[in-house]
Chain A
Amino acid sequence: MRVKKFRTISLYQIGQMESYLSDMAKEGLFLTGMSRSNNIFKINEPADMEYRIEFGEKVLNKEMREMYEMSGWSYTCSFMGIHIFRAAASDTLVEIHTDPEEQSYTLRKVCKTFKRLILLEIVCSLIVIALSVSVTMIGGSPVINLLENNFIFIINIALMIYIVFEIAGQMKTIIQIKKRLQMGFYINHHEPWKKHSVKQFIIYSMLTVTIIFSVASIICTIQTIVGAITGESNYALTLDTELPIVRLNDIEKLEAPVMRTYFSKERKFLLSDVRVSYNVFIKEKEINEQFIQEDMTWEGGVYTPSIRTNYYKVYIPLLVPGALSDVLNKAENYFIRLPDEKSAIEKLDCKGLDEVYYIPSDMNGENFFGLVVRKGNVILWMRYWGQMTRTEVVEASQALFE
């Protein structure tokens, strides 16, 4: 029977790994193979075995194997140029390495590889970090971007930093072993190893978080694809569609509102629609609603009021202020503004709502404006165009959250 065990001791911690394998054999677990993250054992009668880790070419040299086997060391397995040999513990057993200085030469190649690898990894990490940070900062809304991407950028950065530290740690270990060998000290083949360590706990925690966030991202991607195919993520709005937002007629209060769903009969471009984004930590919707009141005229034409609403429900309370700040930033930049112009955001005090901000447009501020409303963890960003004023929109918002 075979048993897979997650490798908690690095192969570069030579003494600890050899000691660990010997202890496993004493419990009846005999190493038969290795994968990137696991050691594979075969269960058998417990035995007193010695294990040795050898660094060499990717494929074990035939002559090397023969010489080792003639000295009582049988080949066990290899993994990326690391070869494991074992022998039954005995007083007459000849050690594989009888000269520490000579053994240090066997680590030269692996030390060089580590030095190259760490440089490459640092460069890659810097690129990933720069890309992740710039993508997160797009539109000046880092919190919303992080929530929309299920924190995958932070996970990327954390993973890259972890990989650099892990490689640096392994490199330090192997360089220290090489230095000690050069000084004439033998490797301690029975170096104590720890079953559980803080480092191990951190690795497990990081892996768990990474898996959770990755699975969340995959689910969201699948939902987005399915939503696009089935039409559940982007669909035409009707007067009866139930949505947790301020509807246009809550503001207009028309007796017979006529929704303008498509741009024209010929051009089936949606003017009133709902777009849903699938995320784990934020519920997000964008709703466009437009009426066309042929019987009413306004500003020299048919009255076509509209409201565009972005709905955000943030599931992490700690991030609500950050998300609100991002939405305000988006809201302010939505209208054309001169670079040196002062912020036009006006905070209003409205009963029943936690926070209300009014953002006048660069055009007719009274009839075309933005309004950001927060109640608990729900944020609404509305852009209204019509004959009503902010008073009606605020009142409709108060009614919504009553």
Chain B
Amino acid sequence: MPYQEGPMTEAMYYVLLALSKPTHGYQLMIDMKEISGGRIEMGPGTLYGVLTRLLKENLLRIKQDDGRRKTYELTEQGKTAIKAEYKRLKLMIKDGTFLEGDSI
């Protein structure tokens, strides 16, 4: 399904997040692990699938392709999408802050 500014999958969110600076596929895996504090260890199939899909949906573009390795970067649409998703997630967290107490 093409991305229509709805909720992103976790994989999609972290790929866009890790692409705040242009990088190549394998480095992305390392960066994501780092960003998530080791929580996210994305499989190569998931990463490759997300990259292909995001390219198709124009949220990413290839910055450089030296034949051996491709470097990806966010498009304007991609930047808007990650910011919108971040806002949505923040609102979700805000909506659930009461959970931090002993309300349930």
Q: Please tell me if A71 contacts chain B, counting CB pairs below 8 Å.
A: yes
Minimal Cβ-Cβ distance residue in A for B65: A63
Main secondary structure of the interface of B (DSSP, over half): helix
Taken together as a complex, chains A and B put the C-alpha atoms of A94 and B48 apart, in Å, by 14
Q: Is the CB of A99 within 8 A of B11?
A: yes
Contact residues in A for B53 (Cβ distance below 8 Å): 105
Q: Please tell me if A64 contacts chain B, counting CB pairs below 8 Å.
A: yes
Q: Please tell me if A27 contacts chain B, counting CB pairs below 8 Å.
A: no
Taken together as a complex, chains A and B put the C-alpha atoms of A295 and B25 apart, in Å, by 104
A61-107 residues at the B interface, CB under 8 angstroms: 61, 63-64, 66-68, 70-71, 73, 94-99, 101-103, 105-106
From A71, A102, A105, name the one whose CB has the most chain B CB atoms within 10 angstroms.
A102
Q: Is the CB of B43 within 8 A of A95?
A: yes
Tell me the smallest distance from the CB of B69 to a CB of chain A, in Å: 8
Minimal Cβ-Cβ distance residue in A for B26: A70
Contact residues in B for A97 (Cβ distance below 8 Å): 43, 45-46, 49
Taken together as a complex, chains A and B put the C-alpha atoms of A94 and B44 apart, in Å, by 8
Q: Please tell me if A54 contacts chain B, counting CB pairs below 8 Å.
A: yes
Contact residues in B for A102 (Cβ distance below 8 Å): 9, 11-12, 46, 49-50
Q: Is the CB of A96 within 8 A of B43?
A: yes
Contact residues in B for A66 (Cβ distance below 8 Å): 25-26, 69
Q: Is the CB of B29 within 8 A of A71?
A: yes
B1-59 residues at the A interface, CB under 8 angstroms: 9-12, 25-26, 29, 40-50, 53
Q: Please tell me if B88 contacts chain A, counting CB pairs below 8 Å.
A: no
Query: Number of contacting residues on B, CB 8 A?
Result: 21
Q: Which of B9, B12, B25 contacts A67 (CB 8 A)?
A: B25
Taken together as a complex, chains A and B put the C-alpha atoms of A71 and B11 apart, in Å, by 17
Taken together as a complex, chains A and B put the C-alpha atoms of A97 and B14 apart, in Å, by 15
Taken together as a complex, chains A and B put the C-alpha atoms of A102 and B69 apart, in Å, by 23
Instruction: Encode contact with A along B58-69: 1 for CB under 8 Å, 0 otherwise.
Output: 000000000001
Contact residues in B for A70 (Cβ distance below 8 Å): 26, 44
Q: Is the CB of B10 within 8 A of A68?
A: no
Minimal Cβ-Cβ distance residue in A for B70: A63
Interface size class of A (residues with CB under 8 A): 20 to 34
Taken together as a complex, chains A and B put the C-alpha atoms of A105 and B11 apart, in Å, by 12
Taken together as a complex, chains A and B put the C-alpha atoms of A97 and B9 apart, in Å, by 13
Tell me the smallest distance from the CB of B51 to a CB of chain A, in Å: 8
Tell me the smallest distance from the CB of B67 to a CB of chain A, in Å: 9
Taken together as a complex, chains A and B put the C-alpha atoms of A337 and B88 apart, in Å, by 86
Taken together as a complex, chains A and B put the C-alpha atoms of A105 and B51 apart, in Å, by 12
Contact residues in A for B43 (Cβ distance below 8 Å): 71, 94-99
With A63-B48, A71-B29 known as contacts, the answer to whether A98 contacts B41 (CB < 8 A) is yes
Q: Is the CB of A103 within 8 A of B46?
A: yes
Q: Is the CB of B46 within 8 A of A98?
A: yes
With A97-B46, A103-B46, A105-B53 known as contacts, the answer to whether A67 contacts B41 (CB < 8 A) is no
Contact residues in B for A61 (Cβ distance below 8 Å): 48
Q: Is the CB of A63 within 8 A of B25?
A: yes
Taken together as a complex, chains A and B put the C-alpha atoms of A317 and B43 apart, in Å, by 64
Taken together as a complex, chains A and B put the C-alpha atoms of A75 and B50 apart, in Å, by 20
Minimal Cβ-Cβ distance residue in B for A101: B9
Contact residues in B for A64 (Cβ distance below 8 Å): 44, 48
Contacts from B to A (Cβ < 8 Å): 9-12, 25-26, 29, 40-50, 53, 69-70
21 contacts between A and B (CB under 8 A): A52-B45, A54-B45, A61-B48, A63-B48, A66-B69, A67-B26, A67-B29, A67-B44, A67-B47, A68-B44, A71-B43, A94-B43, A96-B43, A96-B44, A97-B45, A97-B49, A98-B43, A101-B9, A102-B9, A102-B49, A105-B53
Contacts from A to B (Cβ < 8 Å): 52, 54, 61, 63-64, 66-68, 70-71, 73, 94-99, 101-103, 105-106
> What 9 pairs across the A-B complex have the smallest Cβ distances?
A96-B45, A98-B43, A67-B44, A99-B11, A71-B44, A97-B45, A99-B46, A68-B44, A102-B11
A sample of 16 more A-B contacts (CB under 8 A), given A67-B25, A99-B10, is A66-B25, A66-B69, A67-B26, A67-B29, A67-B47, A70-B26, A71-B29, A71-B44, A73-B44, A96-B43, A98-B40, A99-B9, A102-B11, A102-B12, A102-B46, A103-B49
